[in-house]
Structure 1
Amino acid sequence: MRGSRAGQPELARPTSRATIPTCLPLLTAQSIQSNMSAYPAYVMGGLCIVGGITGFARTRSIPSLVAGVGVGALYLWSADGIRRGTANSLETALGASAILLLSSLPRVAKGPIPAVLTATSTATAVYYGRKVYALQQ
């Protein structure tokens, strides 16, 4: 007999269709990946809001407050949408990254804060750009 030792019964082969209990949520690679892709948006949203409030506290800059809280809220909204799996949430995170990149790029040489903003927004734009591109393939 193939696959069995002498004197031992042959084990049943696993079938190609496994039954999944309906009470358990179906975890697929796509659902795990989309939940993981919400983390950069949560981090960027928190950092933008804290940065906007800090910029306002230090220099009384209303544009820093509005831009930081606005872009941060956009990141957090998109992160929540990514986590829930709603449509266009990855695109919203990509848009928030583009807004932050385009607003910080002209000031990149003026100090460490604009340089860090440019670097982090570039990283998240590349990350979400790849996600959106992979989704459309």
Structure 2
Amino acid sequence: MEHPAFTLAALCSIGGVLGYGRKKSIPSLLGGLGTGALFGIAGYLLKENKEYGIHVALAASVLLTGASLPRAIRLRKPVPIGLSVLGLTAGAYYSKKYSDYYL
């Protein structure tokens, strides 16, 4: 269950750095690294079977979706759409895992 979190941590972090490198976008850098850090923390917590790992993963998914979905709808560009799909997919995955484990 931690593998998707670590993968998303890497993707978000790399994306933030690339966004900064391409367009000098500080929000992309901070958003990518921040979301990547949250997914990394979630992956660590899940790997160690600690409390709240799945909650952190869900929060990071909601953050990623909430930040990218309005831009995807308004701009209709590939990067915000891809981030929205990634966030929604991660949210669905961790929601399913949450319901399997807690409900």
TM-score, with length taken from structure 1: 0.72
Q: How far did residue 100 of structure 1 move?
A: 0.2
Q: Which has the higher contact order (CA 8 A, sep 6+)?
A: 2
Q: How far did residue 133 of structure 1 move?
A: 1.5
Name 1:32's counterpart in structure 2.
none
Determine the C-alpha separation between the residues in 1 that align with 2:5 and 2:102. Answer: 20
Identity of aligned residues (%): 33
Determine the C-alpha separation between the residues in 2 that align with 1:126 and 1:60. Answer: 32
Name 1:65's counterpart in structure 2.
29
Matched, 1:113 2:79: yes
Q: Which runs of 5+ in 2 are unaligned?
A: none
TM-score, with length taken from structure 2: 0.95
RMSD (Å) for aligned C-alpha atoms: 0.8
Determine the C-alpha separation between the residues in 1 that align with 2:96 and 2:60. Answer: 15
Matched, 1:52 2:52: no
Q: Which runs of 5+ in 1 are unaligned?
A: 1-36
Determine the C-alpha separation between the residues in 2 that align with 1:116 and 1:108. Answer: 8
